[in-house]
Amino acid sequence: AQTVTQSQPEMSVQEAETVTLSCTYDTSESDYYLFWYKQPPSRQMILVIRQEAYKQQNATENRFSVNFQKAAKSFSLKISDSQLGDAAMYFCAYRRNSGGSNYKLTFGKGTLLTVNP
């Protein structure tokens, strides 16, 4: 079974600084997708970024970028120029893409990010 591990229950960063959130996963599949979702205090789950495993290039979305290391099964999220609005719980998620029940998102337990002014 696939598992997703976020080893940092909490992180903090100063406004305008850069922070990296860690995620590792375990799978025997070669075709899959990885996601970072953000959950602010409003509880809404917001997609931050998505990475296809077959793509070597790391995904970027404005101030958010990932470091995808397929061999190491690592998928970290870097937030540059942190803003107060980035404060939230961040979830890493995995989804296979090869036959069978490939619908399921497997989530990590989350990392709570605090942004200090």
Q: What is the CA radius of gyration of the chain?
A: 14
**Under rule CB under 8 A, residue 50 binds another protein:** yes
Strand 10-14, strand 111-116: pairing: parallel
Contacts of 76 (CB under 8 A, 6+ apart): 20, 21, 22, 23, 66, 67
Distance from the Cα of residue 61 to its chain's centroid:
12
Residue whose CB is less far from another protein, 36 or 117:
36
Nearer to another protein, 69 or 102 (CB): 102
In angstroms, what is the minimal distance from the CB of 117 to another protein?
27
Site membership for another protein, residue 44 (CB under 8 A): yes
Check residue 108 for interaction with another protein (CB under 8 A): yes
Q: Which stretch binds another protein (CB under 8 A): 16-24, 42-50, 62-70, 74-82?
A: 42-50
User: Any residues with CB less than 8 A from the CB of 84 and at least 6 apart, and which?
Assistant: 15, 115, 117
Q: Closest CB to another protein among 2 and 65?
A: 2
3-state secondary structure of 86: helix
109 touches another protein (CB under 8 A): yes
Question: Which residues form the interface with another protein (CB under 8 A)?
Answer: 4, 33, 35, 37, 42-47, 50, 52, 91, 95, 97, 102-105, 107-110
